[in-house]
Structure 1
Amino acid sequence: MDELNSPVRRPRRLPPLSSLRAFEAAAAHLSFQRAAAELSVTPTAISHQVRGLESTLGQPLFRRLTRQLALTPAGLRLFHGLREGFDMLEAGVHALRERSASDTVTLTTNTAFAAKWVLPRMAAFRAACPGIELRLHASDLLVDLTRGDADLAIRSGSGGWPGLVTAELMAERYAPVCSPLLGLKRVQDLPKHRLIHSDWQPQARAPAVWSRWFEEAGIAASKSRTTRAASGLSFSDETHALLATLAGHGVALLSLTLCAEELRSGALLQPFGPALATGSYFLTAAEGREREPAVRAVWQWIAGQAGLRVRPAG
């Protein structure tokens, strides 16, 4: 019968584990003092544990010479057995820790995408990948994937980053969005409303800012309009701009991806265009990391959530 499934198990008749550890360390060093340093106890404690083990076994394990220890034949046999057993135990624990670490995946992305796209899907992730712990690192600062600061990233831009494999998840567009409470329907009425701004990273190639929107909308610049575009409410975090827009505080250029749920529900509306292209969202990993089982599982789940069947491209 399989012992793992047996209701009857013979008790192990072993001396205390602490005494076996103390003896194995003392035998390896042939010194109570060095064994004590390894186990972070006192030499007296090691000596006491060894004497207790000798009493339990009914035979000496060491010959105590002047300033020196030597193993007896019985001690030598026990040492070899314990060393092999402890080595196997250590290897098993190490393998378990490695597996635990390999089943934890860190995903980094900007704060707005984390709040509006990743977090609402976390319950779906836990159901799809119950054996993987997903750690979400939300920051507008880029981390170094090649250095191992994170396992995966969702980044916006144009892709093609050196040392990374990428898969395009979705194109990103920004457009004027507002609460229906404002009653805004025509672009001609836009000057009557406060404009809401979000900060963009300095390295952004095509930021969605109001000055660019007026230019692409073909609306001629004027001193009053330029002044109004620069005024209004300004936020460093796009999620705060979204909340202000929901509250009816003005009109914002928002990501149509990140406010998709609010647009579907009618809490927000896009009264007119144009929509500004700002690049795409890309799923990225350091070259080679995408083949690791846990990382690959998260990669496939994210791609599926984006409605894609993708393979990473270098």
Structure 2
Amino acid sequence: MTVAAVSHQVRQLEDGLGQKLLERGRTVTLTPAGKAIYPLLRDGFDQIAQAFALLGAPKEGDAIQVSTTRAFAERWLMPRLAKFNEIYPHIVVSIHASEKVVDLRSEIVDLAIRYGPVDADVRGPVLFEDRYIAVADKSICPVDRNATINDFHNRSLLAFKWKNQALEAPSWSVWLARVEHDTSRDFRISWYSEETLALHAAERGLGPLLCSNVLIDDELRSGRMRRVEGPTLSGFTYHLIEDHHCSPRRSLSLFREWLLSEAQSFRENTLKDVEGHRLTLTS
């Protein structure tokens, strides 16, 4: 529509209302009446645009930027992204892996998957809560029975430094206090600066690791890792954070729906196994 056509439509609207909406001089400004109705009209047109955006098909090469922790990106999200790519090959998903909490309004990120206690001031769906269990590579576990912590007195316990010092992290000291073990021997702890490094060390048989069941689930189910008999410690929540000030996009809506569906499936098929200790048995 041309500028002249828009101007003609506005004049017709003014005639119908019986009052001017625009002051026309060297520049065009709103009259008091125009200023009064502008916010309502703007919001209405924005909602119409959002509705059509949700109905429209995603464009070829439409990109989504997702922020999450390095460990969650590597161990849970990336192994499942192939499913999303098969369903929506035209949507490009980029992962920003960092322990830093990003500001969705100031950085080029569409949504974030954060880990920790749920902030009452932050609204967003919870994906799942995790549990902390002790695990070890099958190569250092007994072949004829379940592994116990006493099987690893000749190895260091593996642990990693938590980036968020405000969180009361599950620890080996708490875990050991809740399980029977040979107290005549001291356990050594080998510390890693990154959670992913500790996970890789455990997978290479360097020792048992106390870690989130969410991050080790695939390895437990495949039999590569085994659970060490002992308590299950409470962890925190993975929850989805979105910038609700951004205009909605069909591609983002599709990714969100897929992610929530994957999370629900994980909750139903995995967390109950941990609570029921179904992953502790020898294979």
Name the TM tier (shorter chain): 0.5 to 0.7
Closer, same or farther: CA 203–221 of 1 in aligned 2, 3 Å = farther
Structure 2: gaps spanning 5 or more residues? 1-57, 267-283
1:170 matched to 2:123 = no
CA distance in 2, matches of 1:145, 1:159: 17
**In the superposition, relative to structure 1, how do residues 182 and 105 fare at CA in structure 2: closer, same or farther (>3 Å)?**
same
Residue of structure 1 aligned with 2:106, choices 140, 147, 169: 147
> Which among 199, 202, 211 is matched to residue 161 of structure 2?
199
**2:67 is the counterpart of 1:108:** yes
Corresponding residue of 2:201: 244
Matches within 5 A, 1:268-287: 268-287=225-244
**For 2:172, which of 210, 216, 240 is the aligned residue?**
210
Deviation at 1:165, TM superposition (A): 3.0
- What is the aligned residue count? 205
| SS at structure 1 position matched to 2:229 | coil
Check whether the contact 1:175–1:275 (CA below 8 A) recurs between aligned residues.
yes
Look up the equivalent residue of 1:183 and give its one-letter code.
Answer: C
- 2:176 and 2:248 map into 1 onto residues whose CA distance is 45
Distance in 2 between residues matched to 1:102 and 1:126, nearest whole Å: 12
Letter in 1 for 2:62: D
Amino acid at match of 2:123: V
| Cα distance in 2, alignment partners of residues 157 and 216 from structure 1 | 23
Deviations 1:250-285 (A, max 9, x none): 111122111111101111000212122111111111
* 1:1-314 equivalent positions in 2, closer than 5 A: 103-160=62-119, 162=121, 164-183=122-141, 185-217=147-179, 225=186, 228-229=187-188, 231-232=189-190, 234-289=191-246, 291-307=248-264
Structure 1 position 166, deviation (Å): 1.1
Q: Which has the larger radius of gyration?
A: 1
Call closer, same or farther: CA 1:182–1:161 in 2, change over 3 Å: same
Measure, in 2, the Cα distance between the counterparts of 1:204 and 1:245. 26
Query: Which structure would you say has the larger RCO, counting Cα contacts within 8 Å and 6 or more residues apart?
Result: 2
Residue 146 to residue 217, structure 1, CA distance change in 2 (3 Å): farther
Deviation readout 1:104-139 (Å, 9 max, x if unpaired): 211000001111111112221112223322111011
Which residues of structure 1 form unaligned runs of 5+? 1-98, 310-314
Distance of 1:199 and 1:170 partners within structure 2: 23
The residue that corresponds to 1:4 in the other structure is: none
Distance 2:179 2:171 in 1: 12
Change (3 A) 1:219 1:202: farther
The alpha-carbon deviation at position 183 of structure 1 amounts to 2.5
**3-state SS of 1:212 partner:** helix
Cα contact 2:212–2:235 (8 A) shared by 1: no
Q: What does the per-residue CA deviation read over 1:39-88, in whole Å, with 9 as the maximum and x for residues that have no partner?
A: xxxxxxxxxxxxxxxxxxxxxxxxxxxxxxxxxxxxxxxxxxxxxxxxxx
1:306 Cα deviation after fit: 1.4
Alpha carbons 1:170, 1:280 under 8 Å: kept: yes
Identity %: 29
For 2:181 and 2:244, the matched residues in 1 are separated by: 45
